[in-house]
Amino acid sequence: MASLPPIPLMEKAYRRGDTSYDGVFFLGVKTTGIFCRPSCGARKPRPENVRYFATPREAIFAGFRPCLRCRPLAAVGAPPPWVNLLLKEAESNPARRITDGEIRTLGIDPARARRFFKSQYGMTFQAYCRGRRLGTALERIRTGGPLDDTLLGSGYESHSGFRDAFARTFGLPPGKARGTDCITLGWMESPLGPLIAGETRGRIVLLEFTDRRMLEAQLRTLRIRFKLPMVPGETKPIRQLRRELSEYFAGRRRRFSVTVDAPGSEFQQRVWQELRRIPYGATVSYEALARRAGTPGGQRAAGTANGLNRIGIIIPCHRVIHKDGGLGGYGGGLWRKQALLELERGERKYDR
């Protein structure tokens, strides 16, 4: 995992437009929703309006779009013309899903696009598009600004396009989203990448890394389970969770005190309850998890239920491994699973 230089050093670098830090870090500007290279020639933002990222991938999934002036996706060198064509196509309507067939009509091999984006930017082209869809809707509405301001900063050319995209994601038009009984979604940073949390009626119902492939499906499942719209915002339980996560990553917290609500089938409920019984710093095998959940020999089903957990870290699905010591799977990526286990074994600490 890439690490960032000290904040005072990064602030100094972008203030003076130091090209030697291009590619070392990227800065997201909260007031504009864009992210830039340190050398960007645009007007320098105030420090309190800046967030720092080690990779473009982190910035994208935190809701920022690439700057058209300094082109941060070209920080590793000028990309081929066909890459610029793909990026232009994606930015023309961030809410649109671009299929492999549409990529082929542009004269581009989808497999080639996947390989290039993965090697250069740490994410596939489809992951880039997914991040832009979610980021546009979440980051803009969560600030609580007027609808017109949100529209102008979101990249959409019409009110109807923006409303349609928002409603598809959250189940309610943006103009009706505030002041209703809802699931509140909050964005939070972590040393392992941005997280999104969901809360309703004082209970945490979602905690996922924003780049998880299943995130859109998890949002749909939540909307069906609770029959409530989703509105980005800030609540007391989300602020509490943010504090507890900071303490967890700093090695100062072993148990979370936030209240959670994880509806599911009877079997899923048993599996998730057993996950919460695994002690901090310990692991169990999928086989042992199935046995504890009352289904000896059902490790495959237990693994599936484990993967459908919507409240990561708090319900610690990362503590389940193969009986031979192999990591197994993890929706947030095996590198994150390894990092979480090392944190809980006292082998790494994040002072954030």
274 and 198 belong to one structural domain: no
At 201, phi and psi to the nearest 5? 55, 40
Confidence of residue 162 (pLDDT cuts 50, 70, 90): low
Q: How far apart are CA 178 and CA 204, in angstroms?
A: 19
Q: How far apart are CA 316 and CA 280, in angstroms?
A: 9
Q: Is the pLDDT of residue 139 over 70?
A: no
Q: Name beta bridge partners: 183.
A: 230
202 and 231 belong to one structural domain: yes
In a domain, 164, yes or no: yes
pTM: 0.61
CB 22 within 8 Å of CB 75: yes
Q: Is the pLDDT of residue 179 over 60?
A: no
Find the mean pLDDT for residues 126-139. 67
Find the mean pLDDT for residues 195-221. 86
43 and 124 belong to one structural domain: yes
124 and 151 belong to one structural domain: no
* Candidate list 36, 40, 182, 317, residue with the active-site label: 317
117 and 216 belong to one structural domain: no
305 and 278 belong to one structural domain: yes
Last residue of some domain: 131, 158, 175? 131
284 and 339 belong to one structural domain: yes
In a domain, 136, yes or no: no
At 35, phi and psi to the nearest 5? -125, 150
270 and 172 belong to one structural domain: no
In a domain, 309, yes or no: yes
Distance of CA 329 to the CA centre of its chain: 18
Q: Quote the number of domains for the chain.
A: 3
First to last CA, the chain: 16
Where are the extended beta strands (E) located within the chain? 26-29, 34-36, 50-53, 65-66, 183-188, 195-200, 203-209, 230-232, 284-285, 320-321
Q: How far apart are CA 7 and CA 194, in angstroms?
A: 18
Q: Is the pLDDT of residue 119 over 90?
A: no
Q: Is the pLDDT of residue 97 over 60?
A: yes
User: Residue 203 is which amino acid?
Assistant: R
In a domain, 261, yes or no: no
| Nearest Cα to Cα of residue 265 among 316, 304, 291, 237 | 304
Q: Is 317 an active-site residue?
A: yes
CB 186 within 8 Å of CB 197: yes
In a domain, 149, yes or no: yes
pLDDT of residue 75: 61
172 and 243 belong to one structural domain: yes
148 and 241 belong to one structural domain: yes
CATH number at residue 337: 1.10.10.10
In a domain, 69, yes or no: yes
Find the mean pLDDT for residues 172-190. 69
For residues 178 and 188, the model is more confident at 188
Q: Name beta bridge partners: 231.
A: 184
CATH number at residue 62: 3.40.10.10
In a domain, 293, yes or no: yes
Q: How far apart are CA 308 and CA 288, in angstroms?
A: 18
At 28, phi and psi to the nearest 5? -95, 135
Q: How far apart are CA 307 and CA 303, in angstroms?
A: 6
Find the mean pLDDT for residues 79-103. 82
252 burial level (CB within 10 Å; 0-12, 13-18, 19+): exposed
For residues 37 and 124, the model is more confident at 37
pLDDT of residue 277: 95
Last residue of some domain: 217, 249, 281? 249
201 and 177 belong to one structural domain: yes
Last residue of some domain: 82, 105, 131? 131
Q: How far apart are CA 330 and CA 66, in angstroms?
A: 28
209 and 284 belong to one structural domain: no
In a domain, 260, yes or no: no
pLDDT of residue 302: 92
The pLDDT tens digits for 226-261 are: 888 776 677 899 999 999 999 999 999 999 999 999
| Nearest Cα to Cα of residue 222 among 234, 208, 233, 206 | 206
**Pairing state between β 34-36 and 65-66:** parallel
Could you give the percent of the chain with pLDDT greater than 70?
Answer: 80
Kindly give the interhelix angle for 159-170 and 215-226, rounded to the nearest 10 degrees.
Answer: 70
pLDDT of residue 163: 61
Confidence of residue 216 (pLDDT cuts 50, 70, 90): confident
**Residue 241's domain spans which residues?**
144-249
